[in-house]
Amino acid sequence: MDNNFKTKNGSGHLCCKGCGRQDRQLNTYDWLADVPGNAEEQEIVEVQFKNTRKGFYKNSNKLKLAKGDIVAVEASPGHDIGVVTLTGRLVPLQMRKANLKPDVEIKRIYRKVKPVDMEKYEEAKAKEHDTMIRSRQIALNLNLNMKIGDVEYQGDGNKAIFYYIADERVDFRQLIKVLAEVFRVRIEMKQIGARQEAGRIGGIGPCGRELCCATFVKNFNSVSTAAARFQDISPNPQKLAGQCAKLKCCLNYEVDTYVESFRKLPSRDIQLETADATYYFFKADILSEMITYSTDKRMAVNLETISATRAHQVIEMNKRGEKPLDLNDESIQEPEKPIDLVEQEDLTRFDKQKKKKKNNRGKGGRGENNQPKEVDGATVNAEKANTSQGGERNNQGRRDNNRRRGDFRRNGRRHDGGAANSGQKQGE
């Protein structure tokens, strides 16, 4: 826990005032950090330990604390080492989010860390990995259906917290006895879920960004398949599941917007009557409020896409006993679809083969470079006149050739072959 994150002014804090990410997981953005005297208004301070474990402590000694300071806090037994992550007016709001009761006992902050405290802390942290590996082997020998994901030693090394994952209830009383005999410390078992485990490990999601549970998500709300259904997302478990094998937390981000937009659309069970046919609901674009109707319930037949406003108009007309001639109203202009900038940056845009330009020079026609750039009415009329004159000449030539062929055939019948040949030569 070296304080290597220095600001430009050399203050020694992890980050400039209200910066939210820093080097800590689940950090809180302090948007009141620039307010003068904000840190001194509240006596309670938020302190974060390893991974995502946080606690609220009372600054009874009136220490001048800032975000990023390493402090020694009260523990049971002994003391623990943590980092100050939030001070000032936002601390009571975080306590309310953590569902802390007003009558809960709040422990104290002893002091800022000393070199002796940091030496004990580093010695305890160095044993965590080996302790985790040995504890996994012990749990396996006891045939316990559980996985020990991480081990956290207290700052003074007198206590160890074992984080485990289990699908069902586990009787770990025998495990605690064995662990206490082997490691000679107080043992605390804490069960975590798959989402907490993913947030502890971290990683990159399918969106290409760091996992939400490892950065800013503090409260893990339940995610149901209804969120995917409201957003018209395909119910594919492989696409809906995240790194933790549970439903993605991001399914809840936009579901409220979809629900609000969905309320503006007419019911899917309502049929639209026109003078020619009956239209049934086929699909809907919820955000753009465009609905596609079909003349068949089960198949895409004679699809018509109209706006939600137009659909409500047709429904009102049907209630009055009126039937419009057409489902689409030409007076209502549909908004132009915006250009998708993502498609312009498609990685495969250069893989498409370009069509080769045809060279018409060899066929006797004019090339593209020889075509006039500006075409006015006079040029078009001139080209039409030349075309008509050329057509008349060709027709006249055809009539002359036909007349000569007819004369040749008649002469061939009257005379012999030689005379016919001579007649042919004369005709030519």
Question: pLDDT tens digits for 243-256?
Answer: 888 899 999 999 99
C-alpha–C-alpha distance, residues 39 and 37, integer Å: 6
Q: What is the CATH number of domain 123-197?
A: 3.30.300.20
C-alpha–C-alpha distance, residues 271 and 267, integer Å: 9
The domain ranges of the chain are 1-113, 123-197, 221-263, 264-319
Lowest mean pLDDT among 3-17, 36-50, 51-65, 153-167: 3-17
Contact 280, 298 (CB under 8 A): no
C-alpha–C-alpha distance, residues 72 and 45, integer Å: 12
> In the predicted model, what is the mean pLDDT of residues 216-237?
85
What are the backbone dihedrals phi and psi of residue 130, each rounded to the nearest 5 degrees, phi first?
-65, -35
**Helices first, then strands: H and E counts in the chain:** 12, 12
Hunting for tokens 């943590």 — which residue is that?
82
| pLDDT value for 368 | 46
DSSP state of 44: E
3-state secondary structure of 248: coil
C-alpha–C-alpha distance, residues 135 and 400, integer Å: 109
pLDDT digits (tens, 9 = 90+) for 44-103: 999 989 877 889 999 988 888 888 899 999 998 889 999 998 898 889 888 888 888 777
* Interacting residues of 7 by C-beta distance below 8 A, sequence separation 6+: 13, 15, 16
pLDDT digits (tens, 9 = 90+) for 165-203: 998 888 889 999 999 999 999 999 999 888 888 888 888
**Higher-pLDDT residue of 314, 327:** 314
Residue 421 has pLDDT above 60, yes or no: no
Q: State the greatest distance between any 2 C-alpha atoms of the chain, in Å, as a whole number.
A: 139
Element (H, E) at 399: helix 377-414
Pairs from 331-338 (Cβ < 8 Å, separation ≥ 24) = 332/307, 334/290, 334/307
Contact 47, 106 (CB under 8 A): no
Beta-sheet strand order (sheet of 278-285):
272-273, 278-285, 290-294, 304-307
Residue 113 has pLDDT above 70, yes or no: yes
DSSP state of 103: T
| pLDDT value for 370 | 46
Contact 312, 318 (CB under 8 A): no
Contact 108, 74 (CB under 8 A): yes
| pLDDT value for 57 | 94
Contact 32, 18 (CB under 8 A): yes
* Interacting residues of 57 by C-beta distance below 8 A, sequence separation 6+: 44, 45, 47, 71, 73, 74, 106, 107, 108, 109
pLDDT digits (tens, 9 = 90+) for 131-152: 999 999 999 999 999 999 899 9
Residue 104 has pLDDT above 50, yes or no: yes
| pLDDT value for 387 | 47
What is the torsional sign of CA 373, 377, 378, 383? positive
21: confidence class by pLDDT, cuts 50, 70, 90: very low
Lowest mean pLDDT among 103-117, 339-353, 369-383: 369-383
Contact 67, 51 (CB under 8 A): no
> In the predicted model, what is the mean pLDDT of residues 3-31?
51
Are β-strands 79-86 and 147-153 bridged in parallel, bridged antiparallel, or unpaired?
unpaired
pLDDT digits (tens, 9 = 90+) for 363-379: 444 444 444 444 444 44
Residue 414 has pLDDT above 60, yes or no: no
